[in-house]
């Protein structure tokens, strides 16, 4: 673990990724202290300063009702990160457990679980989320449910394949021979060997979940106003391009920074942990 961290710090790209992630996460957590106008995260209007280009004190400009864009972006990070963490916290245990059981038990259990997974995988993620959000109310909670529903099958796939290969390892047979139970073999022997790959995918996915959530709110199916959200900020600003360019460019860059950071670190982790095995 310490070695992994050390390698991450030495590679300039992954170091950049770590810095970006740290900046995003810290600013989101400390949003109340680092933003100049915390009240602008809510339903506030200040028509005296509406639609102002970047300058002082509005370093990224203001939106059409005079709210500070920088403040709103930082608060939007908060929502995005919460969404990402909650989605993964629900999707990963479900996906991993199903993958472990399907891979280890085999037979009809495998057939049933993996075909179910295939059904979910066959639906394009955005379409599934859109139809779910169309039927349900477009709220943050429903957004999380929709994204979770399309996210777990990828973990099932990953862990299923890992389990299939770990199952053939000598230590699994050795555990079976000394009389270990199926649950013991699955959770104590196989799962720990899958953890590096799962963690790597989670790091990468945190960026992608933010991206998908932004796409949903870009389409008007995500978080609703006045809650700040990167996707809906881009969508709202797009109507005023190119004159009020800051309304789209800064939220867009904000998405890029977050996704890029998680991707850099995820890629580096994949290389480090992959080379270990």
Choose between 26 and 195: whose C-beta lies nearer to other proteins: 195
- For the residues of 31-77, what is the DSSP string, one character each? HHHHSS-GGGGSS---GGGTTPPS-SS-TT-B-TTS-BHHHHHHHHH
- Contacts with other proteins, residue ranges (CB under 8 A): 107, 169-171, 173-180, 189, 192-193, 195
Cβ at position 154, least distance to other proteins in Å:
23
The least distance separating other proteins from the CB of residue 184, rounded to whole angstroms, comes to 9
Return the number of the residue (42 or 106) whose C-beta is nearest other proteins: 106
Is the CB of residue 68 less than 8 Å from the CB of residue 40? yes
Characterize 156-177 residue by residue with b for buried, 16 or more Cβ atoms within 10 angstroms of its Cβ, and e for exposed. Answer: bbbbbebbeebbeeeebeebee
Residue 136 vs 199, nearer CB to other proteins: 199
Name the minimum Å distance from CB 192 to other proteins. 4
Least distance from other proteins to the Cβ atom of residue 111, Å: 14
Residue 68 vs 189, nearer CB to other proteins: 189
CB of 183 to other proteins, least distance (A): 14
Q: Which is nearer to other proteins, 170 or 242 (CB)?
A: 170
Contacts of 233 (CB under 8 A, 6+ apart): 63, 69, 72, 73, 76, 247, 248, 251
């Amino acid at each position: 673990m310490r070695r992994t961290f050390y390698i991450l710090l030495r590679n300039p790209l992954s170091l950049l990724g770590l810095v970006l992630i740290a900046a995003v996460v810290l600013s989101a957590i400390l949003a109340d202290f680092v933003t100049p106008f915390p009240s602008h995260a809510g339903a506030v209007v200040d028509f005296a300063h509406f639609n102002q280009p970047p300058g002082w004190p509005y370093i990224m400009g203001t939106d059409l009702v005079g709210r500070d864009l920088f403040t709103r972006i930082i608060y939007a990070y908060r929502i995005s990160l919460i969404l990402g963490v909650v989605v993964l916290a629900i999707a990963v245990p479900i996906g991993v457990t199903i993958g472990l059981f399907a891979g280890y038990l085999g037979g009809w259990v495998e057939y049933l679980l993996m075909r179910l997974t295939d059904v979910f995988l066959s639906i394009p993620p955005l379409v599934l989320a859109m139809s779910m959000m169309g039927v349900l109310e477009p709220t943050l909670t429903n957004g999380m449910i929709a994204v979770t529903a399309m996210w777990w099958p990828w973990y099932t796939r990953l862990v299923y394949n890992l389990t299939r290969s770990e199952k053939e390892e000598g230590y699994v047979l050795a555990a079976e021979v000394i009389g270990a139970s199926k649950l013991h073999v699955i959770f104590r022997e196989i799962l720990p060997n899958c953890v590096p790959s799962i963690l790597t995918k989670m790091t990468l996915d945190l960026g992608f979940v933010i991206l998908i959530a932004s796409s949903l709110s870009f389409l008007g199916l995500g978080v609703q106003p006045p809650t700040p959200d990167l996707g809906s900020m881009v969508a709202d600003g797009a109507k005023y391009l190119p004159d009020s360019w800051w309304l789209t460019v800064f939220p867009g860059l904000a998405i890029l920074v977050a996704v890029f950071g998680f991707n850099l670190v995820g890629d580096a982790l994949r290389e480090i942990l992959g080379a270990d095995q």
